[in-house]
Amino acid sequence: MKNHVWRPLFVVLGLVAVILLARLLIVPDDFSVGERGYMYGYHRIGNEQEWKDFKTKFRTSTYCNDCHEDRVAERVGSPHAPIECENCHGLAGDHPENPEKLTLDRSRELCLRCHTRLAYPSSDRKDIAGIDPQEHNPGDACVDCHNPHRPNLEEM
């Protein structure tokens, strides 16, 4: 074969060799190895304790229900029921130790993430009640008039 074929072939083989060498040096030995041998996935036996020690940041509404039973019950049956409390109230990971840490986002922008009128006929997005933010009380916070725990009621 001529040189114009050999040179690119050597470049490709060299790149493959560099990638395999880098993988050998960087990827841990127990990556994708399980009890039954090689398996696909990102589970590593070597870092199980690291994940067990990892502090949970996100909680669920059941966690909030321990102290805020009235608020969680208020959301049952409302359109916002499937939305976790932390979407508006912030991360609850350190909440029992530091009650002031939760920051309630009362901004109009938070509500408009879902409630800006967007007509997507092929998705469920069209089923969310939407507004035109330029015409519907511009500059006012949504929570001034609407109760986010009971959004099906027009006024608070």
pLDDT by residue for the chain (156 residues), tens digit each? 677 888 899 999 999 999 999 998 988 877 776 667 666 666 777 788 888 888 777 888 888 888 888 888 888 877 888 888 888 887 887 777 777 767 777 888 888 888 888 777 777 767 777 888 888 888 888 888 888 877 765 544
Distance CA 131, CA 118 (A): 9
Q: Using alpha carbons only, how large is the chain's radius of gyration in Å?
A: 26
CA proximity to 62, closest of 39, 81, 34: 81
Please state, in angstroms and as integers, the Cα–Cα distance from residue 105 to each residue in 41, 43, 91, 116, following that order: 37, 36, 11, 17
Residue 9's SS3 state is: helix
In terms of Cβ atoms closer than 10 Å to its own Cβ (0-12, 13-18, 19+), residue 135 is exposed
Where along the chain do its domains lie?
3-53, 61-144
| Residues in a beta bridge with 131 | 116
Q: What is the pTM for the complete model shown?
A: 0.54
